[in-house]
């Protein structure tokens, strides 16, 4: 005689999303499998050994979901993209934002270069990051693309206006003939008597319109002249800082 072994289906308790009749919650949860049962007697087996799962005290009431409401959008909001401001208007607005003045110096291999830059800002204290914006047409941009290029940011004080003009207008090869230049950690030229200086390696860079945003990680810094007010540029001219007394 061949023995027949029937597998027992797995019993599973599943909350059924329906309301229970009064008193049903008191009877508790139960299931029936293969004809063996206990509890309130409301269960059944389908004859194939399948479990029949009864409503339990965990039964849920299906939530009422409101249909989405279409909100009309005014035609003015769906209009064509707004054109950028005219370049002349852009410059006219930004001339009213005062900025400090820096000389950015670059070393790429055995070549050095420098230029006056006001588009400079701090980015992060940890790690210490700063950013300068360099015109793609400027020779400085070409140098910064070279392998191993490093750069310094020299923040000028009020007594260094002539040095600022020199690095803006004088021919490249003559710019470093004036100034107290030295080096720090990376080998980029550092102005020893600047209001402050930052010596950087290139952390990352990315194009932004006509300029390249060059993010530098500061490897060394110094504040040689802490008591000199900075050189400022505002409304197309150099300005002096007046310290107001509280």
Instruction: Summarize pLDDT for 1-30 with one digit per residue, the tens.
Output: 444 445 455 444 444 444 444 544 444 444
Query: Does residue 101 carry a pLDDT above 90?
Result: yes
How many C-beta atoms surround the C-beta of residue 157 within 10 A? 22
Together in a domain, 110 and 188: yes
136 and 46 both lie in a single domain = no
Total-model pTM: 0.68
Examine the domain organization and report whether 175 and 102 are in the same domain. yes
- For residue range 144-156, what is the model confidence (pLDDT) as tens digits? 999 999 999 999 9
Q: pLDDT tier at 64 (50, 70, 90 boundaries)? A: confident
How are beta strands 237-239 and 190-191 bridged, if at all? unpaired
pLDDT, residue 108, reads 98
| Whether 100 and 135 share a structural domain | yes
Residue 4 lies in a domain: no
Total of domains in the chain: 2
Q: Are residues 103 and 21 in the same domain?
A: no
Non-local CB neighbours of 91 within 8 Å, separated by 6+ positions: none
**Percent of the chain residues past pLDDT 90, beyond the cut:** 61
- 133 part of a folded domain: yes
Q: Is residue 72 part of a domain?
A: no
CA 215, CA 11: separation in Å to the nearest integer? Answer: 63
Q: Let me know whether 31 and 153 are in one domain.
A: no
Instruction: Tell me: pLDDT of 125 over 70.
Output: yes
Range of the domain at 53: 12-63
Based on the domain organization, do 193 and 134 belong to the same domain? yes
In a domain, 36, yes or no: yes
Q: How far, in Å, CA of 230 to CA of 241, rounded?
A: 7
- 2 Cβ neighbours under 8 A, 6+ residues apart: none
Torsion over CA: 86, 89, 156, 121 (sign)? negative
91: CATH = 2.30.110.10
């Amino acid at each position: 005689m061949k023995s027949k072994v029937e597998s027992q289906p797995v019993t599973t308790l599943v909350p059924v999303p329906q309301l229970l009749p009064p008193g049903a919650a008191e009877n508790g949860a139960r299931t029936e499998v293969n004809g063996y049962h206990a509890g309130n007697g409301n269960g059944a087996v389908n004859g194939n050994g399948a479990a029949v799962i009864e409503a339990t005290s965990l039964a849920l009431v299906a939530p009422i979901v409101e249909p989405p409401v279409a909100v009309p959008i005014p035609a003015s909001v769906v209009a064509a993209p707004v054109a950028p401001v005219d370049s002349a208007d852009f410059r006219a607005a930004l001339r009213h934002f005062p900025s400090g003045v820096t000389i950015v110096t670059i070393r790429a291999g055995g070549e050095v270069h420098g230029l006056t830059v006001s588009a400079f800002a701090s980015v992060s204290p940890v790690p210490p990051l700063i950013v300068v914006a360099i015109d793609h047409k400027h020779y400085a941009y070409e140098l910064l693309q070279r392998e191993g290029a490093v750069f310094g940011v020299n923040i000028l004080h009020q007594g260094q206006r002539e040095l600022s003009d020199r690095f803006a207008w004088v021919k490249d090869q003559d710019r470093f003939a004036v100034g107290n230049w030295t080096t720090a950690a990376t080998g980029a030229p550092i102005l020893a008597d600047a209001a402050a200086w930052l010596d950087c390696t290139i952390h990352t860079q990315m194009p932004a319109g006509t300029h390249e945003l060059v993010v530098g990680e500061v490897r060394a810094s110094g504040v040689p002249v802490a008591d000199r007010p900075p050189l400022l540029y505002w409304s197309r001219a150099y300005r002096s800082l007046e310290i107001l007394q509280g």
